[in-house]
Structure 1
């Protein structure tokens, strides 16, 4: 398949997990990929793509800031002259516990991690997509907008869904599609850089087990998904095969609609 031949794609959070699988598969279908991640593992992804015959670059920026998001988009333009596709994949639960146990600083951190990178990157990408009246933005939300022990994260991902619906309406007639997937529980290798290195000291095991149990029970398939089962829908929505789809968030949670 060559759905992304000569396409310029920016993938955030692409050093591991779903983001890495999206980047590698897109490169295998012809995309030139910018790997945006603060983890040093970003360079391993670039090397793997190049060894497979693809074209990739990497950039280390803080996507929780406007400046970092703007720099990431500009880096893609500096390398390849434009941005065709943006995959907003950064985000993830930092803590897992009942809402009454969250400190205000933790609530702020969850929202900064899982909302602002998407919000800012969408805005930064528009500076380069609107003049060309072309582009696709795929946001990665979550089934956990309806879930246990993750209220701040759920709020942030609910914001991602709202961004997707509202921005798509604004820019549809200007040649830009904005869509999203909402992944459910996903089996993935251990993270290279943990989202919360102090998690074991800061949350109880039974609080996290509640998330795991609820995720499996809410899925009709009664299992976690695979990285490829998440990357596939993202790449479909990013491709021209989905050219008449915009403004929607596709649940990818084994039947759990969130």
Structure 2
């Protein structure tokens, strides 16, 4: 049986880690290099670094910050934000990332997923999906540009398309749950996990260790990502893993 992964996330803006609620009201959460060093020592399975305003501002991910963070890590490291081409992927991987995450750029030009998968292998390409429940259509729709722009893609359709084009993993964020600490969106995670053949990382809504167990058992996720509850020391990676072990969830 494959072990479930616990992944802290560094949402970075202007060189600092920030966190908000439903993508709004951002507040400072610390220095990315110091936090990376902390999570590496604490037993995180991986680390995700997202330059959250790069696509919206039309610029590249900060390779210098990525390099500084990567130097602190012995665990797998995924970087996303402003990655629009094969050259961008090369630049981020050279800076020390193990995987690249594409979101807006993949929706705008799905061929980017295929190009990356052919050059680096599918295991290197993570497609991040920001999804919000749409009452009018009664389903979840995909958003781009840091949650600012609604698309016509239904979430499971886009997830399947991304995998068909070569995505090796899906990073699935519930915009409705993001920062709310009321639990992962189990329905959303289960829908996507059952629709694709690659690992799904649940994101958005973690408030305590119980929520992680729910994400794995009911949401069928392969990994779970959280930010604020780890950054602000409301719980720790170790506490979450200890609880998961009591629930029969296999973790490292």
Same fold judged by TM-score > 0.5? no
Bigger fraction of residues in helix: 1
- TM-score normalised according to structure 1 size: 0.38
| Greater gyration radius | 1
